[in-house]
Amino acid sequence: MTPAELRALGAGVLLANTYHLLLRPGPDVVRELGGLHRFMAWDGPLVTDSGGFQVFSLGFGLEHGVGKQIGMFPGESSENMPPRTRNQAPRLVRVDEDGATFTSHIDGSRQRLTPESSIAIQEALGADITLAFDEPTSPLHDADYTRQAMERTHRWARRCISSRQRSDLALYGIVQGGAFEDLRKASAQFIGGLPFDGVAIGGSLGKSKAEMHAVIEWSTPRLPPAWPRHLLGIGEPEDLFACVERGIDQFDCVAPTRLGRHGQVYTADGRLHMTSPELKEDPRPIQAECGCYTCATSFSRGYLRHLFAAHELLAYTLCSLHNLYFIQQLMRQIRDAIRADRLADLRDQFLSRYAAGLATA
Ligand SMILES: [Zn+2]
């Protein structure tokens, strides 16, 4: 996607991964090339995460079959999601009180991140919203380990605040505690009492969507009402409703573009698989009432299916564009519904049609 396309479909904020930028091309190169906004030619707001999630999850998740979004909830089926890469190196991350040492998944080099270096790197990158360095846990960690990681995350939160050099960038704290009620409540209470500008809810959100909802319900009432609340890595249409109703304001998720690249598109009637043989001669756009470039230009389902069959790169662009527009449009409708005090009506109306479509797909 180009920045102009993202602008046109209504995107307001982009997120960049500190872990990936640290390994390649390196924060010094980004700074030399004018900072992250100039580097990627995006003049709107940017978020960088702390790097913690990738440091801990790229090892642990690949080893134990738990990843962000894909297979994130080990208790639920993820059969609609594309297969995950399994032939990666085993976990090579060591955590100590000062920080985490890990092995680059690119060249095998030893790397280290601490609360101080994560903040320094994010400030060098120059995003508008930065995140505290944390130790996320997996749904497979027990209560004892999850508590240790949460307490370490709390000590690291204080160090992140102390090491801040740039007051012009917002800094969000991160609530941890896995799917344990006492830990989540304690973490929200603790992080909510520190001088952050907002908060992200991270780490394991449980083994099911129901547990994720509980995690949010334990956390949000204990956070300062004025803080924006970001839920890390979540963003399917049904999740947006469930999480907004429980007090979440911001989301980031790879699903719209990842699904788009695999030929799955969101519609008001559930997901449509663009590679299905039945679409070969289908003259209709993905969705008649959609205002995105792909649908407004009336690219037919048959044409899009052909692009996938021919491995033509435009297929990925057109489907990603539609999916991103769909999610942006849905969030716009959710914001409007909140202002008009009719969020429950919108949810019932949207989900009854969306779920019925999923059931018959
Ligand atoms: Zn569309």
The pLDDT, as a whole number, for residue 89 is 40
Convert the pLDDT of each residue in 212-229 to its tens digit: 999 999 999 999 999 999
The pLDDT, as a whole number, for residue 72 is 53
167 C-alpha to ligand 1 centroid (Å): 40
Q: What CA–CA distance (Å, rounded) separates 52 from 37?
A: 22
203 C-alpha to ligand 1 centroid (Å): 32
Query: What residues are annotated to the active site?
Result: 49, 252
Convert the pLDDT of each residue in 18-32 to its tens digit: 999 999 999 999 999
Whether pLDDT at 163 is above 50: yes
Give percent of the chain with pLDDT exceeding 90: 82
Question: How far does CA 95 lie from the centroid of its chain?
Answer: 24
The pLDDT, as a whole number, for residue 63 is 52
The pLDDT, as a whole number, for residue 195 is 98
Q: Which of 83-92, 99-108, 116-125 has the lowest mean pLDDT?
A: 83-92
The pLDDT, as a whole number, for residue 356 is 87
26 C-alpha to ligand 1 centroid (Å): 36
Cut 0.85: pTM above it: yes
270 C-alpha to ligand 1 centroid (Å): 13
Convert the pLDDT of each residue in 109-154 to its tens digit: 899 999 999 999 999 999 999 999 999 998 889 999 999 999 999 9
Average predicted confidence (pLDDT) for the chain: 91
Whether pLDDT at 78 is above 50: no
The pLDDT, as a whole number, for residue 253 is 94
Q: What CA–CA distance (Å, rounded) separates 291 from 82?
A: 27
Of 103 and 271, the one with more pLDDT: 271
322 C-alpha to ligand 1 centroid (Å): 4
Pairing relation of β-strands 110-113 and 100-103? antiparallel
241 C-alpha to ligand 1 centroid (Å): 20
Give percent of the chain with pLDDT exceeding 70: 90
- Are 320 and 256 within 8 A, CB to CB? yes
